[in-house]
Amino acid sequence: MALKILSALRRANRIVAIMIGLMLLLCAGVVLIDIVSRKLGSSFGGTDEISGYVMAVASAWGMGFAMLELAHVRIDFLRSQANRIGRSILDLFAMLVLSATITVIALRCWPVVEISLANSSRANTPLETPLAIVQIPWFAGWLWFAAMAWLTFAAALALVLQGRFEDSETAIGAFAEQEAAL
């Protein structure tokens, strides 16, 4: 069951990653068109603002994918000195801390969105972008990351409790060690 959950999370995050990639590609295309149009004497402007918004949303949504691909940075000195059970405990602890931290961040993002909605806040830029349009997908990305983190933690915990340490390590272990083992 835990491996099915992890597999489903990976599939969902791959779809998210493709959508983020397409969004970034579209943004790069718009910036390129704006640069070329500047050389021709005109510009539709605002591409710096739009690309900043795109990066914020892409970062928030991309972190869940990075977590499941073991792409987040970890300091694993203690872990490398431990046996299988010790590594599993350290992996679970790291995942628990990550999940709790991301949950706090996601919860702290909501007041930002709430204030923007309540005040109909707009960017202090020529585009005067309604901030909620950008902040809602940004907030949703943080919620997604928090949900992915807790579901991954729960699946890894289930694997450890079942004594399936290798499966748990594949799900939440340190990528560098896994590469060295291959």
Q: Classify 171 in phi/psi space as left (phi over 0), alpha (psi -120 to 50) or beta.
A: alpha
The answer to whether residues 79 and 98 touch, using CB atoms and an 8 Å cutoff, is: no
Find the Cα–Cα–Cα–Cα dihedral 145, 129, 52, 65, rounded to 10°.
20
Q: In the chain, pLDDT over 90 holds for what percent of residues?
A: 60
| The pLDDT of residue 175 is above 70 | no
The answer to whether residues 99 and 150 touch, using CB atoms and an 8 Å cutoff, is: yes
**Tokens encoding 82:** 């431990």
- Could you report the per-residue pLDDT of 120-157, keeping only the tens digit for each? 999 988 889 999 999 999 999 999 999 999 999 999 99
Amino acid code (one letter) for 149: A
The alpha helices in the chain, defined as continuous H runs, are: 2-39, 47-68, 77-81, 84-119, 131-161, 165-172, 175-181
Domain boundaries, the chain: 2-181
Q: From residue 160, how far is each of 6, 9, 38 by CA, in Å? A: 14, 18, 58
What lies within 8 Å, CB to CB, of 79 at 6+ separation is 86, 87, 90, 91, 174, 177
Instruction: Give 15-20 contacts, CB < 8 A, sequence gap 24+.
Output: 16/61, 16/62, 16/64, 16/65, 16/144, 17/62, 17/65, 19/61, 20/58, 20/61, 20/62, 20/65
The pLDDT assigned to 41 comes to 87
Q: Which residues pair with 130 in a beta bridge?
A: 122
The answer to whether residues 67 and 156 touch, using CB atoms and an 8 Å cutoff, is: no
The answer to whether residues 155 and 6 touch, using CB atoms and an 8 Å cutoff, is: yes
Average pLDDT over residues 86-94: 90
Highest mean pLDDT among 121-125, 137-141, 166-170, 178-182: 137-141
Packing angle of the helix pair 165-172, 131-161 (nearest 10 deg): 160
